[in-house]
Structure 1
């Protein structure tokens, strides 16, 4: 298919932020009384907004989920990201090629809070490609795996979602893209793409050099 627009997830697709963010989250959950393993923290939280897991956090910590706790997580997370964040290998060339191929019809559609997304894009030098086409599930009625953020991004670009390609690295994100009616390619830098098992993603690829339209 000749895609008219490409919609990128952010964390794990544009920037290698997941290990940093998940590490900070695990520290805070442990401090709150939930001695969660690294594997379980990834399984339960990657691809989902932390606030959407409120009931789960309250169940395991025995404490009410508070906005103060969440803001504390954001502060510690952002400080670590500013110090350590790196771009996904090969992403600058890949985004530049896709940007040129689509005539600039690309967007970033993330489940994370928008200030974090903007900060990350700026830090790794990708902001210039996306401009104001940056969307957060936090600003919409539902975040991933609901399709809202991808529908908003497609509408902003003026492209039918069915003519869009979504690049995702998690099952909830892939579900969001598929629910929007887009074609989804799964990016898996490590492993065999098991995150997408059972989902009708059109392709799984392992390095950004493979993202060519």
Structure 2
């Protein structure tokens, strides 16, 4: 596991404090990471099957029929607006802002009806927050509106006040590392000292490209990216149950 970041020579006292964790200050065993950065969809909330169902319906309306597995393989972990070329190739339709707005409206309506949090995530977040304090954040590839809606619907927003970062607001979204680099800057930590929790190959590549250690989450069901794909994308290890997470993070 990565060692906690050691401030470079000449660092100010403020920057040294920025790298500390609650366990450092209390004299408890030093934590293995300086911060924990969570993906949202599929890690915090059980949204992937809901979103992909809406997307499949709308692509079928354009003339492209996909199985659930094909839709997940092609689109999970990616910004839909960046996938216009593959949609154009299969449908002859160049999706535009109006189509994306209609997708988001239908998606959000489905989320309000059916969304739940990932089993075990609340107890995991309680333990992680107790250990890491405010050094936890969300780095999502989705639009901010969707992420904040989902966190509000499930009550998970209380863990991440002011620490939600959207790849849609960055120069590049996942699999580029921009959203995780931005989260690390905001927390005042070196991304190489952070742990990233991801459930998609694109997200794993984003975390690894940021220099973080990536823990892959795969429940082994049809909506999950297989563990082998997460490892191939750069995950250091893969776990299948959120109850395992606190121990993996030294919490």
Fold-level similarity (TM above 0.5): yes
Match of 1:160? 190
Aligned pairs, number = 213
> Aligned pair 1:148/2:178, yes or no?
yes
Match of 2:232? 198
Deviations 1:157-187 (A, max 9, x none): 1110011000000110000000000000000
2:81 to 37, 51, 59: 51
For residues 133 and 107 of structure 2, the distance between their equivalents in structure 1, rounded to whole angstroms, comes to 34
Match runs of 1:33-182 below 5 Å: 33-182=63-212
Which of these two proteins has the greater Rg computed from alpha carbons? 2
How big is the shift at 1:203? 1.4
Deviations 1:72-110 (A, max 9, x none): 000000000010000000000111111111122000000
Unaligned runs of 5+ in 1: none
Report the TM-score, using the length of structure 1 for normalisation.
0.97
Deviations 1:30-82 (A, max 9, x none): 00111122211110000101101011111111112111111000000000001
Secondary structure in 1 matching 2:232: coil
Unaligned runs of 5+ in 2: 2-31
Report the TM-score, using the length of structure 2 for normalisation.
0.83
For residues 65 and 103 of structure 1, the distance between their equivalents in structure 2, rounded to whole angstroms, comes to 42
For residues 215 and 40 of structure 2, the distance between their equivalents in structure 1, rounded to whole angstroms, comes to 14
Secondary structure in 2 matching 1:198: helix
Give runs of ≥4 in structure 1 deviating > 4 Å: none
